[in-house]
Amino acid sequence: MSGKLSTRERLSIPRQRIPEQPPEARASNFAEVNLGFTEQLALLEAQRCLQCKDPKCVRGCPVGVNIPRFLQLLTEGKVAEAAQSLLCDNALPAVTGRVCPQETQCEAECVRAAKGEPVAIGYLERYVADWARTHAERLPIEKAPPTGKRIAIVGSGPSGLTAAGELARRGHEVTIYEALHKPGGVLVYGIPEFRLPKKIVEQEVERLRRLGVRIECNVVIGRTWTLPELRARFDAVYIANGAGLPLFLNIPGENLKGVYSANEYLTRVNLMAAWQFPRNDTPVLHGQRVAVIGGGNVALDAVRTARRLGAQEAMIVYRRTKAEMPARAEEIHHAEDEGVRFHFLTAPVEILGNEKRWVTGLKCIRMEPGAPDETGRARPVPVPGSEFVLPCDIVVVAIGTRANPLLTSTCPELKLNRWGNIVVDENGMTSLPGVFAGGDIVRGAATVILAMGDGKRAAQAIDAWLRGELKPAEAQTPAPTG
């Protein structure tokens, strides 16, 4: 395979489609939807990269993956080197290759997007990362000599894992504390198997363990150990304990049986494998008609899960329009293919129940786009008198989360904003010297890759701090919300 194609030749190659399970089959199983590029498709797609001198795609990546470099190595048939290059920039490429919103990040910046379709960077990242997962023995572990410095990381989600990888490679001794019984955070409790197989998370975690990262599960920082105790035992601390408490709508009927937060619904199915009940002991209610409230990735994960659990009618109820859904484009497309129904410009006003307090329906009101709000999107305005009832037996509330006070309430010196999120400076340092924070506990609910970007930046800052090159600043500016 030659890497020396002319630009004209490269331009003539159309974007390759990723093989996927047919919608009718996948709507009733939990196996991964996308099947991944074959070697042939991957090499062909990689050749579409024009190897720009000033690659804009890299700037579009929150962790700054050197995209042209790993694609060039791939076209040269040097897949091990491509993997090494990718892993150097991104601690969890098999994850991000599957869950990143590439269409608003790297692929949005790709020059080929201006006239046609961008290079399928996400699918290629996934291909190389999957090769790396299955050929671990061919990838040497590169690690700096031990520094003798000890770092505690709170939370083993994408942010914590990324920071752990970066710090371990720099020779620091890293211990991650995870509250749940399995490492991975949202990657194991939140994102479903059909989008991110749990085996992949396990393998990515295993790679970090080989780097020397220790992970202690069932340790709840704020309860089992307090933050001051961690500070006393470690040279630095990185807090990445995640999103936290689910928000509810504050409408009547939310405590009826059959109403879930998306966190609970997904945790039952993903972390506790309730879809395999009774082989696994944790149950989840199976509804015939499931209404999921919200328009983000979590809402789509929930509604597609409901479909796979046998719901004949799996519905999204979203108060804005399709164009304003924050979910990844591919997930919306996949959900449509799987027969998910979308009720746009629809807002819930009450959850209805029967005399036994089981959910029977969702009373909604139609909305219309009004004047733009502070996010620039049209503010949805209720249409008077347009109330109607969507019959359903399960309601899943997927409208976001608020900061979990479990850790922060046990350390009053830690500066928080008015929503309870931890305030950090541009280096990710909190108001406590040597204590850094990132991911959703700083941003409020965001994405896997932004959390990873925080982890990477924090790791660099922690490394500088430990070498005495970073001084604590007045913590005030929150991290940029890419």
Binding site for other proteins (CB under 8 A): 29-30, 179-181, 189, 217-220, 223-225, 242-246, 248, 250, 254-255, 257-258, 260-261, 263-264, 267-268, 272-273, 275-283, 285-287, 309-310, 357-358, 393, 404-406
- Give the three-class secondary structure for 221: strand
**Closer CB to other proteins, 290 or 414, in the complex:** 290
Nearest to 362 by CA among 246, 258, 245, 285: 258
**Closer CB to other proteins, 256 or 473, in the complex:** 256
* Least separation in angstroms between CB 258 and other proteins: 7
* Least separation in angstroms between CB 216 and other proteins: 11
* Least separation in angstroms between CB 273 and other proteins: 8
**Closer CB to other proteins, 16 or 263, in the complex:** 263
**Closer CB to other proteins, 156 or 261, in the complex:** 261
Cα→Cα distances 108→27, 56, 480, Å: 29, 9, 19
CB 76 within 8 A of CB 46: no
221 φ/ψ angles, rounded to the nearest 5 degrees: -75, 130
**Closer CB to other proteins, 342 or 358, in the complex:** 358
Q: State which amino acid sits at residue 185.
A: G
Instruction: Give the CB-side neighbour count of residue 330, counting CA atoms within 13 A.
Output: 17
**Closer CB to other proteins, 224 or 386, in the complex:** 224
CB 354 within 8 A of CB 325: no
> Would you state the torsion angle of the CA atoms of residues 241, 242, 248, 254, taken in this order, to the nearest 10 degrees?
-60
Most distant CA atoms of the chain, gap in Å: 72
| Sequence-ordered strand ranges (E) for 273-325 | 289-293, 313-317
* Least separation in angstroms between CB 288 and other proteins: 8
* Least separation in angstroms between CB 389 and other proteins: 17
Could you say which DSSP state residue 17 is in? P
* Least separation in angstroms between CB 261 and other proteins: 4
* Least separation in angstroms between CB 312 and other proteins: 12
**Closer CB to other proteins, 260 or 436, in the complex:** 260
> Would you state the torsion angle of the CA atoms of residues 327, 329, 332, 336, taken in this order, to the nearest 10 degrees?
170
First-last CA distance in the chain: 37
- Give the three-class secondary structure for 243: coil
**Closer CB to other proteins, 186 or 213, in the complex:** 186
* Least separation in angstroms between CB 53 and other proteins: 46
309 vs 261: CA distance, rounded Å: 17
The pair of structure tokens assigned to 113 is: 């997007």
